[in-house]
Amino acid sequence: MDIKHKNITKPELAEFVGIMLGDGCCHRGSYQITISSGVIDGKYISEFIPNLIYNLFSKKVSFRKLAPGGIDCLFGSKDVCNLLNNEMYFKSPKINCKIPKKFFDEEKLLKACIRGLFDTDGGLHRHHKNSAQLKFTNKNHSLIDSLYKALTQLGYNPCVTIDYKKKDTKAIYLFSKDVKKYFQEIGSNNPKNRIKYEFWINKGAVPLNKEIEDKIKLTTLEQEKLLGKKLLILKKSKF
């Protein structure tokens, strides 16, 4: 596969870069690309991301499970690793990675990249009883700073703090009015976020993950189908 001539200004590629910045890793030695997620993310990790990768790079993915509540999507490609490193300045470990400068020049690319970030390393949560907040956390302060810049450029009013749970981690928030603006203008491809947003709009409160997990969480059978193995075998050997 030669991706040198691919259109690197496609919103789909910008969203993939956002996904990688959020939960991805590119191993330069083996050219393996890994996206880590949770079983609570259901069809986002099992369908959306694999379809996005195939549509962009004509690559099929495999899956692995290293933790009880997690699942990884992975594929190998020297070309994609080189694209991420040379064109998007994506490096692993992601110490100083940030949203690529070229995305700031085109609104649709910036929005797509932001969507990928929030759909992986962010989420919609209850703020007060009837209000909502979008929260994105990351140890990479350069990424948080670039996300703040991006949201501000698009007319949002983000708030940045040190995460109260992890003192070496920064958190960026959008609150109720900006949450509505975000879902209307940027949106989400993660069913978990869409369901929680629709629940908040219709019923006035953001549900907890455990309140909607029957609608979104990968079942044991679905996980075994993706992995090609029984979970019982994995539990005995790994966790």
> Each residue of 101-125: pLDDT tens digit?
999 999 999 999 999 999 999 999 9
Q: Is the pLDDT of residue 89 over 90?
A: no
pLDDT of residue 90: 83
- Burial label for 13, CB within 10 Å (0-12, 13-18, 19+), is buried
Q: Is the pLDDT of residue 86 over 60?
A: yes
Q: Is the pLDDT of residue 230 over 70?
A: yes
pLDDT of residue 231: 83
**Nearest residue to 192 (alpha-carbon basis) of 38, 81, 17, 77:** 38
Per-residue pLDDT, averaged over 140-163, amounts to: 95
> How sure is the predictor about 239, in pLDDT bands with cuts at 50, 70 and 90?
low
Give 180-213 pLDDT, tens digit per residue: 999 999 999 999 999 999 999 999 999 999 999 9
> Is residue 191 within 8 Å of residue 43, measured between CB atoms?
yes
Q: How far apart are CA 43 and CA 50, in angstroms?
A: 10
pLDDT of residue 236: 52
**Nearest residue to 130 (alpha-carbon basis) of 160, 175, 97:** 175
Q: How many CB atoms lie within 10 A of CB 154?
A: 17
pLDDT of residue 95: 78
* 11-225 is classed CATH 3.60.150.10: no
pLDDT of residue 4: 46
pLDDT of residue 94: 79
The domain segmentation of the chain, as residue ranges, is 11-225
